[in-house]
A and B are shown apart, each in its own frame.
Chain A
Amino acid sequence: MSDSEVILQQRVVDAGNKKQQLAIIGGMTKDFYGRAVVGETLDIKNHQGIVDYDPTELVLTAKAGTPMVEVNRLLEENNQMLGFEPPYFGKNATLGGTIACGLSGPARPFRGSVRDFVLGVKILTGSGHVLKFGGRVMKNVAGFDVSRLMVGAMGTLGVILEVSIKVLPKPASQITISIHQPNVNLAIQEMNRLHGKPWPISAMSWYQDRVWIRLSGTDVGVTNAYQHIGGDLEEAGDQFWEDSREQSLPFFRDESPLLRVSCKAGVPGFDFQNSALDQDKSINEALIEWAGGVRWFKQSEAREANFPERLQEKAKELKGHMMWFRGGNRQGEVFMPLPSAVLTIQKNLKRAFDPQGILNVGRLYASF
């Protein structure tokens, strides 16, 4: 066990003895996400470093506090990348925070999510046990998949100490094209249609009346797909995807709360026009990501106060998921309420991994 690991373990054990709640932090870049947590700070930043990386295995293992810029630099040097394309939301982002928040970038529908790439974890439970699950190999079905359970758990089940992730070779060629399409429903249909084609599409969004498509693969594969799809070649395409991932597109710039709905990619544009809100042209989706699977909304001042509730109803009807991504009341619930049977299991799991209830209590839901 490394020194920094021993220190973290001791902190957790002491906190458990005192029943002192802890707020786990890394680079503080995703502090805005999830519910507000009260507790003594447990900083994992000093627990950093690459543990193992062999490019031929396509597996990287690093300590949780390792900065994402360092992970990325190392992968770049070997012409590899993270398939899930996570947002950093700031240069101090850590690997541990990235895994704990479980946020994936534009490539998600095509290459997979954060959890899809996690192979193994080492965690520190609320009782101070250091446990390892999963491993450093691609296929592993020994025991329950606790490593993937940690993704998106936001530190409620344990402090992530170390993670092994699958990495991918970088594509030889990449271009972005865009197609003019002001009609949201036709844009979604077009994205669904393209998604069903065997072409090397690695990202697809609808923004400012255009369908944006990124193609990544071999030169011939990309060229071939471009010939089929057509559209305008976007010189600054990579920048568009980066801005979209890091939320620096003009749409994200104002400070009003940001709402996000995840739903089936084929669901037509949310039509709120029959309401009193139909005066507000920006009521419906302004940005659609993930080939239709994610719809972004702003709760601007002009909007009725009950719009988020209506949006949540809509998401529920679609068996989707609505969240307050940024802003709003972080003391209230920010994720969709869970059905009682599911909530009970989640609370039980919290107790199993953190019996004293000291780790990031309430970060996901008020009740655990």
Chain B
Amino acid sequence: MNVNTLIELMGAILPKECIITDKNSLRVYECDGLSAYRQIPLMVVLPGSTEQVQSIMRLCNEHAVPIVSRGGGTSLSGGALPHKDGIVLSLAKMNKVLEIDERSLIARVQPGMRNLAISEAVKPYGLYYAPDPSSQIACTIGGNVAENAGGVHCLKYGLTIHNVVSVQVVSSDGELMELGGSGFESPGLDLLALMVGSEGMLGIVTEVTVKLLPIPEVAKVLMGVFDSVEKAGNSVAVIITSGIIPAGIEMMDNLAIRAAEGFVQAGYPVNAAAVLLCELDGVQEEVDYQLSQVSKILHECGAVETRVARDEKERALFWSGRKAAFPAVGRISPDYYCIDGTIPRKFLGKVLSEINGLSESYGLRVANVFHAGDGNLHPLILYDANIPGELEKTEELGSRILQLCIQVGGTITGEHGVGIEKIGEMCIQFTDEEREHFHLIRECFDPKRILNPGKAIPTLARCAEHNLMHVHNGELPFPELERF
């Protein structure tokens, strides 16, 4: 469709200032958190109401114009990367709280509301919204729903899927639907489960009802220092099987520790092989008791030292290093590439040592930070995009790490989504029939495939090409694998 005609038709739906078409302003939207991929869209629209979203969808559906929805633009997998022939639908203007029901412990908010802003809005009621991705100051709840975002505290409190009660969705043909229920369940097939984590391919979320939790009376963090990554990894399993579910358990390896310490001076021991941060929350007496138990376990598992943050200030300091691990790594390397695989915890030691091996053979440094409690790894590959061929080498190393995750029974993405980034690895994790069913599901919601086309689910042709590249000596990689 002619761009000018599209602009004209869009002008009948939205006020002028909500339609962006000039090149300079469009550049703001050319990428998300995965900045290695860039694409200028035809236009960006910023609707302010559900009705406007419906009209936009009807228009785009009629003319088969691709739509990429966008929240805070913090996706690390290119989920919000624009389509060259499509529009970007930004939900940034729809950022209000619609209702807080402190009795039923739920809040209904618009999709453009920032994750952290929800917790701030319900704080006066002694409540908060639990999932806390590292980007929580900037990422939006709509984006969290699209990616099934996790965070440091999802070990105890779950992912987005566990904390969203219902969503209002505009379908690809502009119909309004309510998925999920006002209570703890809804009739029929659980379409909410499909919508969460669907990477903007099944509909546009225009309202989200989230579950709220009481703010814990107290939260304390304990740092365990280890001379080996394996010991640190093993201690995580021991803590969890002892019956304690910490609010979060995070781990960093030596390179990540040094980078973080250089950046925020959190008091991390720079010579340690690994540092474990374990947060416990609840009522005072319970937390005190569990702290002593965890401390004992860590020592039994070979911790060289354990330290409990003395006050809220020190607790924030302990966390600041972990939370700033990505930018900290950015200081010691011109570029870095963040990987997001999940593995069964018991293979933590094995996988880390194999990552080290790969790191050496590729000649690229890898810093490891991870949500140890969930077995969710975030290896950060350090590289220099200005060196010709280094990005390609980095991507190949990333792909090898993800294949390693599949090999031990894990997955290619724990919380960042597939987007454009891991579309090739989807060919390894799933069979042709399984991927075909993803396409069939998508067509149930979006027969014209206008929603975020080209993302998350590779076509058969694409996988044929991908697998061709990865076949060595006529064999598929890891033929013995169960692809779980």
Contact = CB atoms under 8 A, between A and B. Distances in A.
A275 B483 CA distance: 59
Given A116-B161, A144-B197, A198-B216, A221 B183 contact: no
A137 B183 contact: no
A192 B212 CA distance: 12
B457 interface: yes
Interface stretch (A38-46, A50-58, A63-71): A50-58
Interface in B360-385: 371, 374-376
B246 to A, nearest CB: 12
B290 interface: yes
Nearest to A219: B289
B389 interface: no
Interface string B199-229: 0001000000000001111000000000000
B187 A336 contact: yes
Contacts of B442: 144
B50 interface: no
Interface in A245-281: 262-267
Given A152-B189, A338-B187, A342-B177, A196 B241 contact: no
Q: How large is the interface on A (under 10, 10 to 19, 20 to 34, 35 or more residues)?
A: 35 or more
B101 interface: yes
Interface stretch (A23-31, A235-243, A344-352): A344-352
A320 B182 contact: yes
Interface stretch (A4-12, A86-94, A107-115, A205-213): A107-115
Interface in A60-105: 79, 102, 104
A116 B158 contact: yes
Nearest to B441: A144
Interface in B148-191: 148, 150, 154-155, 158-159, 161-162, 171, 175-179, 181-191
A364 B189 contact: yes
Contacts of B288: 220
A133 interface: yes
| Most chain B CB within a 10 A radius of its CB, from A56, A171, A192 | A56
B243 A169 contact: yes
Contacts of A345: 171, 177, 191, 444-445
Interface in A262-317: 262-267, 290, 292-294
Interface in A320-337: 320-321, 323, 335-336
Contact of B418 (A102, A141, A220, A224): A141
B187 A141 contact: no
Nearest to A338: B188
Contacts of A198: 214-217, 282-283
B103 A265 contact: yes
A200 B242 CA distance: 18
5 contacts: A137-B344, A137-B375, A157-B189, A217-B286, A267-B104
**CB-based closest 3 A-B pairs:** A266-B103, A148-B193, A221-B286
